[in-house]
Amino acid sequence: MSTLSRRALIGSATLGIVGIGLLRPALAMIEMSRLAGVAVSGYDPVAYFTEGKPRPGSESITLMHQGVEWRFASTANRDLFKANPAKYAPQYGGFCSWAVAQGYTAPADPQAWAVHQGKLYLNYNLEVRERWKTDIPGHISKANVNWPNLSKAP
């Protein structure tokens, strides 16, 4: 192999590695979304607000948002979400809110939820939700500090 070819190969490999490193956070979120398959484990995020309880969404009433399928119990709920996804999507990417407040991510159970000041928060399980409820404003403050770094983690 000539010196020029070797340099070109090494340079290309280096650029490729650097490029992957720069894209890693975005790829991680896409990969997580792809592996998760369906947002909120298939529950209708709007129902927490309109019905005050979790309700499974329908496989026939869906919307793709940020590369993830969201399911809804009704077309009306789908339309509400489509008009304002930030209002209805769970905080912290749908991860356990208490875990984010502690500085890590964990999956969430759609049955372990709370709406606080117009925002949906999911937790790992009902026991963790009780911990979350002991100081919701304090946990939100901590989670808001932690989330920017956690959302970029590979």
Task: pLDDT band for 152, please (50, 70, 90 cuts).
Answer: confident
Q: Is the pLDDT of residue 99 over 90?
A: yes
Task: Compute how many other C-beta atoms are within 10 angstroms of the C-beta atom of residue 102.
Answer: 16
Alpha carbon distance 48, 45 (integer Å): 6
Q: How confident is the model at residue 5 (pLDDT cuts 50, 70, 90)?
A: low
Identify the band that residue 133 occupies on the pLDDT scale cut at 50, 70 and 90.
Answer: very high
pTM over 0.85: no
Give 100-119 pLDDT, tens digit per residue: 999 999 999 999 999 999 99
Q: CA-to-CA distance for 45 and 39, rounded, in angstroms?
A: 9
Q: What is the pLDDT of residue 15?
A: 41
Q: Which of these, 98, 87, 79, 146, lies nearest to 120 by C-alpha position?
A: 87
- Angle, vertex CA 133, rays to CA 97 and CA 110, nearest 5: 50
81: left (phi over 0), alpha (psi -120 to 50) or beta: alpha
The mean pLDDT of the chain is 84
Least confident of 11-20, 40-49, 77-86, 121-130: 11-20
